[in-house]
Every structure is written in C-alpha cells, then in structure tokens.
Amino acid sequence: MRNWFKSGDPWIWLNAAAVSVSLIIVVGLLVLIGVRGLSHFWPARVMQADYAVPDSAVTRVIGEVHDSEQVSAERLQQTGVHFGPDVKVIKRILLKTGNRDVIGGDFRWLLWPYLADIQYPQGIVVLERREWGNFYGYLKQVQENQSVVAQDDKAWGALQERLERVEHLYEEIRDIEKIRIGELNFKLEGLRLEERRLELHQRNTPENLRSIEQERKVLQADYAVLQKKLNDLYVDINRDSLVAQVMDGRTVTIPLSKVVRAYQPNAMSVFARTAMYFEKLWEFVSDEPREANTEGGIFPAIFGTVMMVLIMSILVTPFGVIAAVYLKEYARQGVLTRTIRIAVNNLAGVPSIVYGVFGLGFFVYFLGGNIDQLFFPEALPAPTFGTPGILWSSLTLAILTVPVVIVATEEGLSRIPRAIREGSLALGATKAETLWRTVLPMATPAMMTGMILAVARAAGEVAPLMLVGVVKLAPSLPLDGNFPFLHLDRKFMHLGFHIYDVGFQSPNVEAARPLVYATAFLLVLVIVALNIAAIWIRNRLREKYRGLEG
C-alpha cells in the first residue's frame, strides 16, 4: 500500500474522480435546466374535474396540471382543512386555470382527494393570447361584426380560418408600426435635429429651412398615408371575435386580434403535439416578448447578448494584446513591471458591480456627457451618448475582461522560443518586423484563448450591465436599417438580465418559472456557441503555425 501511494497512482485516480464528478454535476445541471425549460412548450392535456371541499359548494375546474407535491395533513389543518386521524400526507396539485381576466388568477392549488369526475374532454380549447395569458374553456360561437357566422361543431373550423387571416393582418400592422413608421419617425427626428443645428450655428436662413420644410412635408404625407392604412387594418383585424364558456358556466367574448393561436390539446395526436412543440419553440427564440416578458419570445435578448459580446471582443482584444506585447517585449523587467503585472492580476478579482459603477460614472456621465456637448449639442438636454447604452456596456465589460486577455497573451508570447526571434533578427528583420510577422502570428492561439475566457465571463455578467445599458424591454434593436445602421447609443436586452427580471421581478411567478429555466438553458447554448466558434478559429491558427514552433 505504501509503494502504491509512492507511485502516485492514488492522486491520478483522485484527479480523475474529481473531473468525473465535475462533469456529472455540470451535465446534470444542464439536463435539469433543459428538461424543466424545454418541457414548458409541450402542449399538455387539459383536465376537467369537480372540486368539492367539505362545507363548500362543488365547483367545476379546468386547467393544466402544472406541478404536484405532498403536504402534511397537520399543515393543512392549520388552514381549516381537516382529515381523519390516520391521514398523514395529502397530495395537492397546482392547476394552471388561466382566464386571469375572468377569475383573477392563473394558478390554483387543489387537494387531490377532493377532485372527482376527472375527465379530459376533446372539446376543451386553449387560447394563447397577447394579453391576460392563456384561456381555457369551450368554444361556442365565432362572430363577425357581432353577428354569428359559426357555432357549436362548425365553430372550430371557422375559428382556424379567421385566425390565419388575423395573423396576416397582425404581421402587416407590425411591419407598418415598427419598420415603416419607425423609419419615418427616425427621418423626422433627423430633420428636427438638423433644424436645431442650423439654429445653434446661426445658419437658419429661409433658404436652408425651406429645404428642410419641404422634406418634412413629404415625410408627413407618407406618414398620413401609412396612418390611414393602419387605421383600416385595425378595423379589419377587430372584425372577428369568438364566444367561449369558462369553467364556472359564464360566457365571454374575446377579439381574435388578441389571440396568438388556438388548439385543442386533448384531441391532438402525438405528431400534432410534436409539430406544435417545435412551432412554440421557434416562437420562443425568434419572437418578441409579451405579457411582462412571461410570454412570447426572447429574440431581442439573444440579439443584444450576441451583439454586446461581439463589440466587447472587438474592443478588448487589441487593448489586451497591445498591453501584453509591451509588458513582455518592450518594457524593462523590473519593480515597476512586476507591480503592473500584480495590478493586472488583482483587477481580475475586483467585483463586477464595481466596474459597473465605474462605467456609469466615467463612460456614461463623463465621457458620454462630453461627447454630447461636443458632437450632439442640438439634441440636448436629451442625451445621446450621455445615457446608458450598448457601447458603454461593451466598454465596461472590456475593462472587466482585459486582465484575462493580457495574462493569456503574455503566456503565449513566453512560449515562443527565443531562437525564433534571434533567427529573424539575424536575417536582417527589425524588431517590429519580427514582432509583426513572426511572434504575433505564432501567439494568436494564446490571444484566442484569452478572448474565449473573456467571452465566457462577459456573456454571463448582469450586475454591471444593469447600470450601463441593459433594460427590461428595448423598443428597438441596436442594429436596423436606418443609417448608420449600428446604433451604439441604444439600450438593449440581455439574456442574463432577462433571467433576473422574469425570475424575481415578474408579477406572475408560477407562469414565469419555466421561462427562467428555458432562458438559462439558451444562455448556456449561446455562450457555448460563441466559445466553439472561437475555439475553431484558435485550432485553425494553431495548426497553421505548428511548423514554425517545430
């Protein structure tokens, strides 16, 4: 046994066990997040039952079984519900009843022993709405301008046809409101700023103002045409409605303009459920959020996260590489250089919120405020760059991650044999040429390693972004079709902040919980995708310069 310990085999097995446990924990966590998040999009069956609590009237309940748990009878007795002396544990379920606008809540805890006549009728309809969450009930009529066009058995087919029409109208309305009218508003705001700029420079002559006014009239005429078309579209989309019966017997009228999709989960086959699952999953990654971020998609958050990481990478890599090259190749190795290296290493351990406060004070208020004074005085007092935005967020995270790039690049430069430098100099190359043509190309895999570590840390940061640019809901993306196309002054959405907002700031916690898991899983996938792309580039560069290292 003593010889076995001296051989070092126990430590090899210990390291292998530690790595295996770490991998199992990571994979298990990802599986847990993925299952809890992605299962949310599966169209679950809808239950109907009679709920009869002692000393209370029997009520009809309809909804999806969202969760279940075992509760001690003693705990329930404290709330006034009593059981026999032999009952120790009671099962209760969390039923997603929807119909928040009718009954005042989306979820309801029910005691399983008091449920009777449990059924799964095929006629139950689920409506995903743009407001007030899901609706559960029975479809009775389809109306056009408050006149019945189909009812009972014929209502379902008429509903699907008219929903398809409503979806086309909604897409057309969104195109006009967000894109075409957005472009006109952007141009009108540009004319206003140009007029203000001429006034500040005392060049607001009648000739200069006449051209601005003519262009404004053209834009206003286009705006009037779009507004008239938009009004007609709203009249068309509000034409149809449906009448449905909820679980307590009441009937409600719902405009089809508020309905995203309608389906009958209890009547769907496995293939139909699978098709709808992928349809809802695609909506989650490609659509915009609704219902206080608890419904719809998270595409703006995905786009904002990737855009911020790319801008941060473009900013941090040159600064980190230049600093590492200076410290390794040019700086005199002494007390000052060692002090700088210690400071760089210490910067990596500073809490991220401190960088957020620094970014808010220096980048936003000082640098952004002065930029507004110098280059955008016509927009004042409304700030342009003197307010949190994606540029300041990227710069803040670049400063946060620059120590990682510096350390990784220095290590890469240290691994390059001295003979390569001396051989280049002996052949007549200058030090700058040796550095640019030989040393830096061979150190590019190390630079990419630093960027990979920087991306891995920056993509998941939330605390500093809350101060320097991220918001709950951004009205427009940082990248669009309006010149200069990339708007670095705009605020943006971020997956990490979206998780925080949905998980801890949502008014409907139970409805938001599955989206927290799904968004967290998607954030991990985005980080992995960015890292895989960087690793692929690094490996290509490593293979390219492997011969020089030999």
List the structure tokens of 395.
Answer: 């710069």
DSSP string, 198-222: HHHTT---HHHHHHHHHHHHHHHHH
Can you tell me the mean pLDDT for 511-526? 88
Cα angle value 107/108/111 (rounded, 5°): 150
Q: Which of 12, 37, 17 lies closest to 514 in space, CA to CA?
A: 37
CATH architecture of 307-549: Orthogonal Bundle (1.10)
Q: Provide the whole-model pTM.
A: 0.88
Q: Which of 35, 24, 240 lies closest to 146 in space, CA to CA?
A: 240
DSSP string, 497-530: HHHHHHHHS-S-HHHHHHHHHHHHHHHHHHHHHH
Q: Which of 498, 492, 467, 466 lies closest to 480 in space, CA to CA?
A: 492
Pairing of strands 124-129, 134-144: antiparallel
Can you tell me the mean pLDDT for 81-97? 77
167 pLDDT more than 90: yes
Q: Please answer whether residues 289 and 482 qualify as being in contact, where contact means their C-beta atoms are separated by less than 8 angstroms.
A: no
* Res 259: pLDDT: 93
| Local confidence band at 83 (pLDDT 50, 70, 90 cut-offs) | low
Lowest mean pLDDT among 69-78, 143-152, 171-180, 485-494: 69-78
| Local confidence band at 399 (pLDDT 50, 70, 90 cut-offs) | very high
Rounded distance, CA 95 to CA 114, Å?
Answer: 14
- List all residues 6 or more positions away from 135 whose beta carbon is below 8 Å from its beta carbon: 98, 99, 125, 126, 127, 129, 244, 254
| Local confidence band at 131 (pLDDT 50, 70, 90 cut-offs) | confident
More confident residue, 390 or 546: 390
Q: Which of 391, 509, 512, 528 lies closest to 459 in space, CA to CA?
A: 528
Q: How far apart are the first and last CA of the chain?
A: 42
Can you tell me the mean pLDDT for 424-428? 86
Give the domain 47-120 fold.
SH3 type barrels. (2.30.30)
* Res 52: pLDDT: 83
48 pLDDT more than 60: yes
| pLDDT tens string 223-258 | 999 999 999 999 999 999 999 999 888 899 999 999
Can you tell me the mean pLDDT for 506-522? 84
550 pLDDT more than 60: no
Q: What is the mean pLDDT of the chain?
A: 87
Highest average pLDDT, of 38-42, 168-172, 201-205, 526-530, comes from 168-172
Pairing of strands 289-290, 251-255: unpaired
Q: Which of 120, 155, 99 lies closest to 265 in space, CA to CA?
A: 120
More confident residue, 116 or 545: 116
- List all residues 6 or more positions away from 167 whose beta carbon is below 8 Å from its beta carbon: none
Q: Which of 56, 148, 63 lies closest to 102 in space, CA to CA?
A: 63
276 pLDDT more than 80: yes
* Res 137: pLDDT: 92
Can you tell me the mean pLDDT for 178-185? 91
| Local confidence band at 86 (pLDDT 50, 70, 90 cut-offs) | low
| Local confidence band at 74 (pLDDT 50, 70, 90 cut-offs) | low
List the structure tokens of 296.
Answer: 């719809």
Lowest mean pLDDT among 135-139, 299-303, 445-449: 445-449
List the structure tokens of 135.
Answer: 């609706």
* Res 21: pLDDT: 93
548 pLDDT more than 60: no
List the structure tokens of 19.
Answer: 């790595």
Q: Which of 240, 238, 256, 230 lies closest to 173 in space, CA to CA?
A: 230
| pLDDT tens string 357-395 | 999 999 999 999 999 999 999 888 889 999 999 999 999
As a three-state string, the secondary structure of 287-329 is CCEECCCCEECCHHHHHHHHHHHHHHHHHHHHHHHHHHHHHHH
539 pLDDT more than 70: yes
* Res 485: pLDDT: 86
CA distances (Å), 59 to each of 25, 100, 202, 471, in order? 45, 17, 75, 43
Q: Where are the domains of the chain?
A: 47-120, 139-268, 307-549
Rounded distance, CA 40 to CA 183, Å?
Answer: 37
| Local confidence band at 11 (pLDDT 50, 70, 90 cut-offs) | confident
Q: Please answer whether residues 116 and 47 qualify as being in contact, where contact means their C-beta atoms are separated by less than 8 angstroms.
A: no
Burial 42-68 (b: 16+ CB within 10 A, else e): ebbebbbbebeeeeeeeeebbbbebee
* Res 199: pLDDT: 86
* Res 224: pLDDT: 94
Q: Which of 405, 397, 402 lies closest to 353 in space, CA to CA?
A: 397
DSSP 180: I
* Res 85: pLDDT: 64
| Local confidence band at 79 (pLDDT 50, 70, 90 cut-offs) | low
Find residue 128's DSSP bridge partners.
134, 261
Lowest mean pLDDT among 1-15, 223-237, 423-437, 446-460: 1-15
* Res 546: pLDDT: 65
Q: Please answer whether residues 255 and 243 qualify as being in contact, where contact means their C-beta atoms are separated by less than 8 angstroms.
A: no
List the structure tokens of 383.
Answer: 């700030």
Can you tell me the mean pLDDT for 474-480? 86
